[in-house]
Amino acid sequence: MFEAELAAERGSFALRARFAAPTPGVIALFGPSGAGKSTLVNAIAGLIPATGHVRLDGTTWLDSATGTCLPAQRRRIGYVFQDARLFPHLDVAGNLGYGERRAPPAPRIAVRDEIIALLGLGPLLARRVHALSGGERQRVALGRALLAQPRLLLLDEPLAAIDAARRGEVLPYLESLRDRFAIPMLYVSHQYEEVLRLATHVLLLAAGGVLASGTPSELSLDPRLRALVGGDLVGAVLEVEVGAVDPATGLSSVAVGQGRLRLPLAGARLGARLRLHVLARDVILATAPPQGLSVRNALEGTLAELVNEGPDEALAIVDVDGSRLIARITRAAVEELRLQPGRRVWTLVKAASLRGHVFTRATPREAGLAPP
């Protein structure tokens, strides 16, 4: 368990954050620019003065009540900065060794050769850091932080300084770290897609405080998260397992309540754990079992809630045996179909619309998905 209650001042900005999240896992700090994400991680790392308490699995780093405040260099927090902050007077190997030399000799979770192999750093070792690309820099920064044998890994928008095309070079590495090591990670981002790919727990930050806290699934139904991610990314997040694979059609099916969804995932492994982001704009509602449609996925459920969005649209939240889906429909359709909470409905999800919105909870190899 990672618990923090922190108060810090940065000029006119005040941070008042309080949360608890399970460990190990990836805790995403998600929020708009200026929400206080970096201030919060700096306070946790001990780089800026703060009051309150910070505890990780029984170790206390800060407790103002008892006057405990461990200096940053003794907290053993691996910090990967937005701008990598590699040491320019050392080569890649020197950077990797910096924290490793200063870490306690035992126990060692991250072994040098393994980290080098995992992050693909072998060919870079003798390079000077200013000759590296943005993605390479962040991989070196990750390796450097890991070799310091951290108890917690802080990642402050590690992909923000890398152009969109190159982010795909680093994300799979982050996924494999999450799956390979039991080091808790705190991942700061304002990219919802990164959060969905990596997070096991999400903290929603705004105006220096924690607005909401929960699993990605729980928060996908939270109106405050919806307001933040914006129209096109609104959608339910489902945690599912591959229940059957049909090599002939290239479709894998996963159970959602009593029903099942078929996904275009060639070669997925049975039992692989997946996370689906079912975009609200891709979901269709029907008031009768659909017939004669090309859509393969129809889940029967109960309309739980209708939320008006703007003058013309509404979000329909449908309960499918405990799992929830969101559909974006027009207010005209609500009127015509006389939709109201409690009504029996069928949610239709086009399999092809899920392409690119399926994330793995295990390593890409295990789930049978090629990394992008």
Distance CA 301, CA 283 (A): 13
- The DSSP code sequence of 45-94 is HTSS--EEEEEETTEEEEETTTTEE--GGGT-EEEE-TT----TTSBHHH
100 vs 313, beta carbon nearer other proteins: 100
Closest CA to 112 of 100, 130, 125: 100
Shortest Å distance, C-beta 109 to other proteins: 15
Amino acid, res. 217: S
Shortest Å distance, C-beta 366 to other proteins: 32
Shortest Å distance, C-beta 136 to other proteins: 14
In 10 A of CB 163, how many CB atoms? Answer: 10
Distance CA 102, CA 122 (A): 22
Shortest Å distance, C-beta 110 to other proteins: 13
Q: What angle do CA 194, 108, 127 make, to 5 degrees?
A: 65
Shortest Å distance, C-beta 207 to other proteins: 25
71 vs 322, beta carbon nearer other proteins: 71
Place of tokens 């040491």: 87
Helix (H) or strand (E) holding 360: strand 358-360
- The DSSP code sequence of 247-286 is TTTTEEEEEETTEEEEE--TTPPTT-EEEEEEEGGGEEEE
Residues near 131 by beta carbon (within 8 Å), at least 6 away in sequence: none
Shortest Å distance, C-beta 73 to other proteins: 5
98 vs 371, beta carbon nearer other proteins: 98
149 vs 323, beta carbon nearer other proteins: 149
Q: Look at residue 130 and give its three-state secondary structure.
A: helix
Beta strands 201-206 and 209-214, pairing class: antiparallel
89 vs 338, beta carbon nearer other proteins: 89
45 vs 261, beta carbon nearer other proteins: 45
46 vs 301, beta carbon nearer other proteins: 46
Contact, 147 vs 153, CB < 8 A? no
Shortest Å distance, C-beta 103 to other proteins: 6
Site of interaction with other proteins (CB under 8 A): 45, 47, 71-79, 81, 83, 85, 87-89, 98-99, 102-103, 128-131, 144-145, 148, 154
Residues near 26 by beta carbon (within 8 Å), at least 6 away in sequence: 178, 184, 185, 186, 187, 198, 199, 200, 201
131 vs 332, beta carbon nearer other proteins: 131
Shortest Å distance, C-beta 111 to other proteins: 17
